[in-house]
Amino acid sequence: MKETFKIVKIFLFLLLTISCKNEIKKNGVSIIKEQNSEKESQNINNSLSIPFLNKNLLEIVKIGNEFKLSCSEKSNKVNLKSNSLFIEIVEPTKYDVEKIEESNDRFKIYLKGQLFYYDVILIDRNLGIYYWKNLLKKDKKIDSNFSFYTIEEVKLKTANLEKENCDENNEISNWIGEYYLELSSTHGDNKETIDKYRIVFKDLKNIEFSSNNHKYIISGEFFDEKTIQGDISKNDKNEKSAITSISPFLSLIKDGDNYYVTCPLITQGAGFSSTPYEIKKVK
């Protein structure tokens, strides 16, 4: 009887031991899976082919169609790691990366606890230039104040970028905006009409001038500290005529808080005109 009881105890002990081992084994696998899952989560961004990952980037500026070094005495820096983003634009800030999405040389970087994200667009692979577009998550509106261009620091020598003209840049910023002009004019049929003109000054090399049904792109330069003069670089009709060959085609003058324009197309009668007209800045 004692022998039977002893055998039963041994059998129960072995059964309990096997059961415990299985439970430990199961828990062990679960822990490993959780650890692996966490590791995979941490390395998920590493699996993407992000060309600027773990590289020092410096902010640059775009003037017209050219990239230049900023006037700032201290270059702003950006550095993306798999789990964090360091940006020194206004002040040094470190963000935790929530996820990164890749699509056709574009990288959407979502940041934990932030109402915005960055849509990073590859501009020039050879020079390592990217455009960091700051977008609100809610409506995907761009915040231009916190959007910027960068270049890989190691490629600065290869790019050989010039430094922007700081004095000229201040003058350009005074011109950026939209301007309108309406003129009552009489042409060959002696009928009075209202001609409308619109100027959109984006930068010195990209000034849109619209006259009735025509649109021209003007590439300008400073004639003096108050005057910008420019010639047609492109027109919507791709036409060549006596008008498009006039140089300078457009002159913009700033006198205190007042803005003026001179253009052969802006006239109140027949023929061309060199009369300056005051234009109203609306934006």
Domain boundaries, the chain: 56-164, 168-281
- pLDDT given for residue 149 in this prediction: 93
More confident call, 5 vs 64: 64
- pLDDT given for residue 118 in this prediction: 97
Question: Which of the listed CATH numbers 2.50.20, 2.40.128, 3.30.70, 2.40.160 matches domain 168-281?
Answer: 2.40.160
- Segment 227-244 shows an average pLDDT of 75
CATH architecture, range 56-164: Beta Barrel (2.40)
- With a CB cutoff of 8 Å and minimum separation 6, the contacts of 76 are 58, 59, 70, 87, 88, 89, 148
- Segment 46-74 shows an average pLDDT of 82
Predicted TM-score of the model (pTM): 0.49
| Tokens standing for residue 197 | 């003109």
Quote the mean pLDDT of the chain: 78
**Secondary structure class of 186 (helix, strand, coil):** strand
Of 134, 135, 153, residue with least CA distance to 76: 153
Cβ-count burial 22-38 (b if 16+ within 10 Å, e if not)? eeeeeeeeeeeeeeeee
Cβ atoms of 69 and 150 within 8 Å: the answer is no
- Segment 65-86 shows an average pLDDT of 85
Task: Give the Cα separation of 174 and 227 in Å (integer).
Answer: 12
Cβ atoms of 7 and 14 within 8 Å: the answer is no
Check for a shared fold between 56-164 and 168-281. yes
Task: Give the Cα separation of 252 and 209 in Å (integer).
Answer: 11
Residue 39 to residues 44, 45, 166, Cα–Cα distance (Å): 8, 11, 48
More confident call, 46 vs 265: 265
For the chain, how many residues are written? 283
- pLDDT given for residue 240 in this prediction: 64
Please check the confidence at residue 20 and state whether its pLDDT lies above 70: no
- Segment 147-167 shows an average pLDDT of 87
Please check the confidence at residue 188 and state whether its pLDDT lies above 80: no
At 176, the amino acid letter reads: I
More confident call, 171 vs 149: 149
Task: Give the Cα separation of 235 and 233 in Å (integer).
Answer: 7
- pLDDT given for residue 26 in this prediction: 30
